[in-house]
Structure 1
Amino acid sequence: MKIAIDIDGVLTDLELFMETEGEKFVGHPVVDHNGYDIDTKFNASKETKEAFWDAKFRDYIINAPFKDKVSEITNKLHEDGNEIFIITSRKWHPEYGFKTKEDMTAANLKSLRQANIYFDHYVEAPFPKVKETKDLKIDIFLEDNPTNVIELEKVTKVLLFDAFYNRHVNGKNIHRIH
């Protein structure tokens, strides 16, 4: 079986990072735990959101807090004969602290390896990852982003990693996991 896995919010604890680092950055506690990004979590401007990610994205990639047991899960999926695709929409911008896109990709791969995450293929794809999912004939996609999930369910089965910001999402091809 071909299984695609997103990084942010599935393998890493994106919520924890945003809420912990965001509070320090904006200077006040989270306003809306259901928010998906800094602007909605902290009722901040788009400019504040962009400044946060310009300042913190490199640190997030290099030191991302991986969720418990994700290494064991990816290794078990591999042992069971599945083909594992890491498909991420992480985008390179010069403001993010990496000189080139290749430097950012290398940092992504290094952090995955340091966390002992098993994968056969690494793919960088634009939101909502539908074209790559179809082209690669992915059977199951592990995802958390509400927009991506809604689009991905049209072309494959989705295991939705439960988070405050995606509790409103459901569908016939979406299966929520905790």
Structure 2
Amino acid sequence: MKNLNICIDIDGTLTNPYYWLDKTAEHFNKIVRHEDFTQYEYSKVIGISQSDYDEFYEKYKFKYHSKDVLRFKARDVINKFYLSNNVFFVTAREKSLEMLTFSYLNRKNIKFDRLFVLGTHHKVKKAKELKCDVFIEDNPYNAEELSNAGFKVFLIDTTYNRKISHHNIIRVYDWIDIEDAVNNLILAENAI
């Protein structure tokens, strides 16, 4: 029997949160330090229009998403989770990226039960369907929406999500921290 239903975001959570910022800044010949990335919207941080960013994203989404860089220890920790928990990737990525995302996870040797490519940042409905016990996320808006709906969120620390707090949000700093937090949650659940 599996212990927990763990939902995991991909971009910025599984992968490096500054990868797309770096690629976007490079494309538009801008210099942006990671510590200046204090809001979630790339276009605002870089100082370009949303339509310019959307055009860039549309042109390069397949190329750059196929080369996304994993966060340190993410694969190791998730593969440990998979042994005794249900692991669901729940991403806001567009549906057009579903096969690329599936292939990427397999190519990176990441074990998981299911992948859900929602095409929207609103993840509460899917979290309810999956009976999610904990959601691992980086996006401050998603974290807030999920926590307001009663879900426990492990918010992986980034420069753009430091202003958010909620009683259902636990701030974690890396995948080693996430592993400890999930193990503590399992111990708490088993003690009941």
Structure-1-length-normalised TM-score:
0.88
Tell me which of 112, 115, 126 is aligned to 1:122: 115
Report the secondary structure of 1:150's partner residue. Answer: helix
| CA deviation after TM superposition for structure 1 residue 23, in Å | 2.0
CA distance in 2, matches of 1:43, 1:128: 26
Mapped contact 2:17–2:158 kept (Cα < 8 A): no
The amino acid across from 1:44 in the alignment is I
Unaligned runs of 5+ in 1: 93-100
Q: CA deviation at 1:135?
A: 1.4
Whether 2:132 is the aligned partner of 1:138: answer yes
Partner residue of 2:157?
162
Which residue of structure 1 lines up, in the alignment, with residue 15 of structure 2? 12
Please state how far the C-alpha of 1:35 moved relative to its aligned partner. Answer: 2.8
* Amino acid aligned to 1:86: F
| Partner in structure 2 of residue 29 of structure 1 | 31
Map residues 1-178 of structure 1 onto 2, 5 A cutoff.
1-15=4-18, 17-30=19-32, 32-79=36-83, 81-92=84-95, 101=96, 104-125=97-118, 126-153=120-147, 154-178=149-173
What residue identity is the alignment partner of 2:52? T
Q: How many residue pairs align between the two structures?
A: 166
- 2:10 is paired with a residue whose SS is coil
Counterparts of 2:65 and 2:27, CA distance in 1: 17
Q: Percent identity?
A: 31
Secondary structure of residue in 1 paired with 2:116: strand
Moved over 3 A (4+): none
Give TM-score, length-normalised by structure 2: 0.82
Per the alignment, do residues 60 and 14 of structure 1 end up closer, same or farther by CA in structure 2, a change over 3 Å counting? farther
Return the letter of the residue paired with 2:37: H
